[in-house]
Structure 1
Amino acid sequence: MNLTAPHLNRSSGQLPSAVPGRSARGVRVTWWYTYLSMVVFALFMAVITAAQLLFFHAEAGGHSSWLVITAAVLTVLSGLTQSGCSWSVRHGIGTGCPRPWATALLIVPPAVVWVLTLALPGGAVPGGVPLWIAANILALLVRGVPRRLVLAAGLGLLAVHWWAGAQLTGVVVPTEAAAEQLPPLVFFILFVPVVFLFSAWWWNIVVQLDAARRDAGQLAVARERLRFASDLHDIQGHHLQVIALKAELAERLLAAGQPEAAGANIHEVRTLARTALEETRSLVRDLREISLEEEIANARDVLAASGATVTLRGSYVHDPAARTLLGLAVREAATNILRHAPEATEVSILLEAGAAGGQRLVVTNDGVEDPGPDETGAGAPGVTGPASGTGLSGLNRRFAASGGRVTGRRVARSFVLEARVPVLPGAGDDVSEQDERELNA
């Protein structure tokens, strides 16, 4: 059986969910990478600006005083508050300003630096940088016109500070040594919106992709439910309609004084009701035309939509009874991974011949967060010991009725579900050419 084929025909008509989303773990890693990049840059700019403020002030002939020291300390403090407020970007761009106290922590320290350095010798250039950085972070939390107004206000206050500082102190670049330090500082000032806006934009894309991944997973589940509802409708709809007509006809025949004809119709009603009940039970117990290929393809789509990379390997299974059991095992394994191991990023499905004949199915996932000291399967997601839990217990009973078994165990950070089916009667039956073509497509 070609399990790596890009498409497997499914009689149910279920469409594949071919939207492989990111895993939740990958989203968290991306967020920390984005957040730490903003924090590092904010702290870097704070330290550089404070150092340039002290250097420019000394080159302008100023003396170390409480004013310049206070401004330098507040500049570093601004970097810390900007780092903290950058966390608000986690919910996406344009999610609104943080709480009033957080907004005050973001704006007040750099605003005080802006005022203190306005008439400070050598403070014209670096004094407006902290407020410019704060404006860029605040712009990430608003959208539309307010964002453009915040950026325009931050850039305007930066330019006003340079111009007003030059007017009040009579100099912007006090010495040639200070002039050599000016181009790198200007470069970093212009680079501020690139770092913060691009980082937030990238993170916003990741948030949207993660939402799309969840939607794709829910859609895959909804398709399964729709498929089940369609099968149930096909079974019940026709039978119930015929039962209603036959019962109505029997009622009319009784009223017309034809009890024998009415009895024949009542007998048909009872037969139809029994048939509908048996088919419904077969559907609920998954005994109604289970396709191994279909279940593998469905599991691949659903797990890929949840963010896992699915590897399929195996050989064709000839025995119809074994195919039904293994199809149920694949379905139960996929359900348990979605329910108990949503963090799984790698899933392997292996189907091979057993050592003593029969078939062996192995489904492995890496969604075990805390493996613990026991690697026998105790306490594993959905499985305790051999294979317990509501779904797996019933599955194990079915396999046991055919001489097979289902076991589960932990191996490091992976969970392995193994199902074995012995050689069943009819296992040597040939497969039709149509089945072979579908499987090797």
Structure 2
Amino acid sequence: LIRKQLAVQLHDTIAKDLAHIAIKAQELSQPGCATPEELAALANQAIATSKRIKPTILQLDTESGRANITETVSLVTKMLSTRNITLQNDVSENLAPQVTRQQALLACLVIREAATNILKYAPTDTTASLEVTREPDGAITITTSNTIGDSPANIGTTGGFGLANLERQITTNGGELEYSHTPARWILWATIPTGGKE
């Protein structure tokens, strides 16, 4: 039922916005019709629509089933290997039954986003690290570290959830997300408390 309601929400809001954008784009495609201001307004509308769709998609993910941290680590390890980046990981044993459903979902989001950034910014033939630890109070901490390349890699259409969106999701659920870099390394750290859906 919840997924059906979310599908209706997508149709009633996002689909209508996209239809309007498509119609406007067709109008502006006529010779001499488009001004820089109109094109900028259309681009801003498209950006606003994309930002609105992400929370709904995340909610669909939340309802679709329990995320698996170990499987996600395995998947991103394979993803990084496509650029010969080795991911050294240290994940707490028997983690799955000890975390809430929401913790697992958010942890997987963090891991995927961190790996996407590593894929884009780390040089080939380097090693990155990932630690996923369950703390005594039940919180999960995630730390990643990688070398920074001279320029971003061309990874085609691969895109992440976005650090700003990720930070919003983490803090909304009572956690923290921090990231920083030295001239040579990028470091990301997140903590996800036990609060949330089981």
Alignment correspondent of 1:284:
57
Deviations 1:249-305 (A, max 9, x none): xxxxxxxxxxxxxxxxxxxxxx89944706977883243333222221110000012
What are the Cα deviations for residues 358-385 of structure 1, in whole angstroms up to 9, with x where unaligned? 1100111113449xxxxxxxxxx8xxxx
1:332 matched to 2:110? The reply is no
Find the counterpart in structure 1 of residue 145 from structure 2. 364
> With structure 1 as the length reference, what TM-score do the two structures score?
0.28
The question of whether the paired residues in 2 share the 8 Å contact of 1:310 and 1:349 is answered with yes
**CA distance 1:345–1:400, shift in 2 (3 Å):** same
Structure 1 residue 301 and structure 2 residue 66: aligned? no
- Distance across 2 between alignment mates of 1:311 and 1:272: 38
Quick one: distance in 1 between partners of 2:148 and 2:125?
A: 4
- Pairwise mapping of residues 225-374 of structure 1 onto structure 2 (< 5 A)? 274-275=4-5, 277=7, 284-285=57-58, 286-287=61-62, 288-289=64-65, 290-315=67-92, 316-317=95-96, 318-319=98-99, 320-343=101-124, 345-354=126-135, 357-369=138-150
Residue 162 of structure 2: SS of its match in structure 1?
A: helix
Unaligned stretches of 5+ in structure 1? 1-270, 371-380, 382-388, 428-441
Q: Which has the higher strand share?
A: 2
Matched position secondary structure for 2:110? helix
Residue identity in the other structure for 2:87: V
**Gapped runs of 5+ residues in structure 2?**
11-52, 153-159
Take 2:168 and 2:73, find their aligned partners in 1: how far apart are those partners?
A: 21
Matches within 5 A, 1:2-401: 274-275=4-5, 277=7, 284-285=57-58, 286-287=61-62, 288-289=64-65, 290-315=67-92, 316-317=95-96, 318-319=98-99, 320-343=101-124, 345-354=126-135, 357-369=138-150, 391-401=162-172
In 2, Cα distance between the equivalents of 1:294 and 1:410?
Answer: 28
After superposition, the Cα gap between the structure-2 partners of 1:307 and 1:400, relative to the gap in structure 1 and judged at 3 Å, is: same
Residues 307-330 of structure 1, C-alpha deviations (whole Å, 9 max, x = no match): 111111121152221111000001
Name the counterpart of 1:129: none
Alpha-carbon distance between aligned partners in 1 of 2:130 and 2:143, rounded to the nearest angstrom: 6
Question: How many Å separate the matches in 1 of 2:3 and 2:112?
Answer: 30
Q: Distance in 2 between matches of 1:406 and 1:314?
A: 18
What is the aligned-residue RMSD (CA, Å)? 3.4
Which residue is 2:176 aligned to?
A: 405
Alpha-carbon distance between aligned partners in 2 of 1:356 and 1:368, rounded to the nearest angstrom:
37
The answer to whether residue 194 in structure 2 is matched with residue 423 in structure 1 is yes
SS in structure 1 of the partner of residue 180 of structure 2: strand
Aligned-residue identity in percent: 23
Question: What is the alpha-carbon distance in structure 2 between the residues aligned to residue 278 and residue 368 of structure 1?
Answer: 43
- Tell me by how many angstroms 1:392 deviates: 0.8
Q: Secondary structure at the match of 2:75?
A: helix
Distance between the aligned counterparts of 2:178 and 2:7, measured in 1?
Answer: 33
Q: How many residues align?
A: 140
Q: Structure 1 pair 341/275, CA: closer, same or farther in 2 (3 Å)? A: same
| Aligned amino acid, residue 132 of structure 2 | L
SS at match of 1:307: coil
Q: Offset of 1:419 from its aligned partner? A: 1.1
2:178 and 2:57 map into 1 onto residues whose CA distance is: 24
How far apart, CA to CA, are the structure 2 residues paired with 1:424 and 1:272?
Answer: 21
Judged with a 3 Å threshold, the aligned counterparts in structure 2 of structure 1 residues 344 and 417 are, in CA distance, closer, same or farther, namely: farther
Q: Distance in 1 between matches of 2:129 and 2:2?
A: 44
Aligned to 1:69: none
**Structure 2: how far apart are the matches of 1:291 and 1:412?**
34
Q: Is the 8 A contact 1:351 1:362 kept in 2?
A: yes
Residues 332, 278 of structure 1: CA spacing in aligned structure 2 closer, same or farther, 3 A cutoff?
A: farther
Q: Closer, same or farther in 2 for the Cα pair 1:273/1:418, shift >3 Å?
A: closer
